[in-house]
Chain A
Amino acid sequence: MESALVSGLQGLFLGVLSLRPEHVIMIVIGSVLLYLGIKKGYEPLLLVPIGFGAILVNIPLAEMMGKDGFLRFFYDTGVLTEVFPLLIFIGIGAMTDFQPLLENPKIILLGAAGQFGIFLTLLLALAVGFDKLDAVAVAIIGACDGPTAIYVSSKFAPHMLGAVSVAAYSYMSLVPLIQPPIMRVLTTQKERTIVMGAIRQPVSRTTKIVFPIVVTIFASILAPKGAPLIGTVMLGNLMKESGVVDRLKSASENEITNMVTLLLGLCIGATMEADKFLRGQTLLVLALGFIAISLDTVVGVLFGKLMCLLTGGKVNPLIGAAGISAFPMSARVVQVEGQKYNKKSYLLMHAMSANAGGQIGSVIAAAVMLSVLQGMGIVGG
């Protein structure tokens, strides 16, 4: 009886006895993510489940990511198969209005310039010693697009998924702090005060319906490995614009996106096991992620300056900063900055065009990257 009691008590305290300092550190990190999400409002929809997942997976002996663990099931089913980010893309497409871009299509080029940070960061990541596919996963933080970052990193470097996702979502929420100083340094007072004319190019409903179909066909033919990314975003947008499948559209942007966001967040948190996350490499990922988003802004603004030059001063270079995928946060930042220097300047609609271009641009950049990697024989067909 006595030995049974001792054994029973040992079992009760086994978790406490197995607790190591690294577990405690990760539980604190998970709690910080919860704090940022709940108290500071930084991407709470993602940071709350990520933070909670990070806590759960670092409870000793709970084996949440063990062979039969409850988080392992969702991870294997939704993350390793890349299904979760693709389902979220359908929701994003259903929520996105491409009208500003359709009204002002030349602005889409800013959405391309806003992705250059991805490729420049790739070079930096290789320079500091990441291997090829790990460098690709780090660089994709520059897409400034959470689902794209998750899709690419789960495909090529699943062991880095936690660090890449946390960096991507954290920096996206910090866009209002990261971008303005760069915009100010790279532009002159005169450029910042440029007033851009109103856009008056209405778009027919047929164009809005045909747009996602032709983009899917042409962009997927040009970059076939990115067809799942492009196709899911455009499917969501087609459902929105067609107006005939309101139930599917509504389910995509609400129930499906909400459920998948919850499970995806938990799964990302579940990749933050102490022995995988507490490495010098994680700090490097966070630093390179910050550089990637900064470089996106730098190249976007410089491209805006080029457009300003080519149009004889009709384009305010500040809108180049909105060529990233953080929609519509980045467009709002541009509007606020423009108003600081000229109260008569209303850049919002132009910045929204660039921002919508950035949304397509991030998906296209990832698609191009995947296809080039396949062409180079780095990844299989």
Chain B
Amino acid sequence: MDSWTFGWTLALIGMTGTMLVLWFLSLLILLLKKIFPYQPEESAAKKG
């Protein structure tokens, strides 16, 4: 594989892959927040 094919392939898949993985993680965070919602008692427990 020549350098340019290597470079463009790695750059395109790398940028797209990084963006997709992080987008997927943002969805995962939203899902976690839905499954484990914040309870106001946590705040009270912290203060208490």
A residues with CB within 8 A of B:
101-102, 105-106, 108-109, 111-113, 115-116, 118-120, 122-123, 126, 131-132, 135-136, 201-207, 210-211, 214-215, 218-219, 222-223, 357, 360-361, 364-365, 368-369, 371-373, 376, 378
Given A223-B17, A364-B22, also A202-B28 (CB < 8 A)? no
**B15: Cβ under 8 A from any A Cβ:** yes
Q: Are B22 and A112 in contact (CB under 8 A)?
A: yes
Closest to A106 in B: B26
Output the least CB separation between B19 and chain A (Å): 4
Query: B24 — which chain A residues lie within 8 A by C-beta?
Result: 218, 222
Closest to A378 in B: B6
In the A-B complex, the 8 residue pairs with the closest CB atoms: A105-B29, A119-B11, A206-B36, A368-B17, A105-B26, A112-B22, A202-B38, A126-B7
Output the least CB separation between A157 and chain B (Å): 15
Query: A205 — which chain B residues lie within 8 A by C-beta?
Result: 42
Query: B38 — which chain A residues lie within 8 A by C-beta?
Result: 202-204, 207
Q: Are B3 and A126 in contact (CB under 8 A)?
A: yes
Q: Are A112 and B23 in contact (CB under 8 A)?
A: yes
Interface size for B (C-beta < 8 A) is 34
Given contacts A101-B29, A122-B10, 14 further A-B contacts (CB under 8 A): A112-B19, A116-B15, A122-B11, A123-B8, A135-B3, A135-B7, A136-B10, A207-B33, A214-B32, A218-B24, A218-B25, A222-B17, A368-B18, A372-B9
Output the least CB separation between B22 and chain A (Å): 4
Closest to B12 in A: A119
Q: Are A211 and B1 in contact (CB under 8 A)?
A: no
- Interface-central residue, B7, B18, B28, B32, by most chain A CB under 10 Å: B18
**B37: Cβ under 8 A from any A Cβ:** yes
Query: A206 — which chain B residues lie within 8 A by C-beta?
Result: 36
- Within the complex, which residue of B6, B11, B32, B39 is in contact with A211, where a contact is CB–CB below 8 Å? B32
Distance between Cα atoms of A179 and B36 in the complex (Å): 38
Query: B6 — which chain A residues lie within 8 A by C-beta?
Result: 126, 132, 376, 378
Q: Are B14 and A119 in contact (CB under 8 A)?
A: yes
Q: Are A204 and B39 in contact (CB under 8 A)?
A: yes
Q: Are B14 and A372 in contact (CB under 8 A)?
A: yes
User: Can you list 15 A-B pairs, Cβ within 8 angstroms, ordered by A?
Assistant: A108-B22, A111-B22, A122-B11, A126-B4, A131-B3, A202-B42, A203-B38, A210-B36, A211-B29, A215-B25, A219-B21, A219-B25, A360-B22, A369-B10, A376-B6
Q: Are A108 and B26 in contact (CB under 8 A)?
A: yes
Query: B8 — which chain A residues lie within 8 A by C-beta?
Result: 123
Q: Are A368 and B14 in contact (CB under 8 A)?
A: yes
- Within the complex, which residue of B4, B13, B25 is in contact with A108, where a contact is CB–CB below 8 Å? B25
Query: A112 — which chain B residues lie within 8 A by C-beta?
Result: 18-19, 21-23
Query: A204 — which chain B residues lie within 8 A by C-beta?
Result: 33, 36-39, 42
Query: A219 — which chain B residues lie within 8 A by C-beta?
Result: 21, 25
Distance between Cα atoms of A327 and B4 in the complex (Å): 33
- Interface-central residue, A112, A201, A215, A369, by most chain B CB under 10 Å: A112
Query: A135 — which chain B residues lie within 8 A by C-beta?
Result: 3, 7
Closest to B33 in A: A207
Q: Are A203 and B33 in contact (CB under 8 A)?
A: yes
Output the least CB separation between B12 and chain A (Å): 8
- Within the complex, which residue of B9, B18, B32 is in contact with A365, where a contact is CB–CB below 8 Å? B18
Q: Are A365 and B14 in contact (CB under 8 A)?
A: yes
Q: Are A222 and B32 in contact (CB under 8 A)?
A: no
Distance between Cα atoms of A376 and B22 in the complex (Å): 22
- Interface-central residue, B21, B26, B37, by most chain A CB under 10 Å: B21
Query: A118 — which chain B residues lie within 8 A by C-beta?
Result: 14
Output the least CB separation between A371 and chain B (Å): 8
Q: Are B29 and A102 in contact (CB under 8 A)?
A: yes
Q: Are A376 and B21 in contact (CB under 8 A)?
A: no
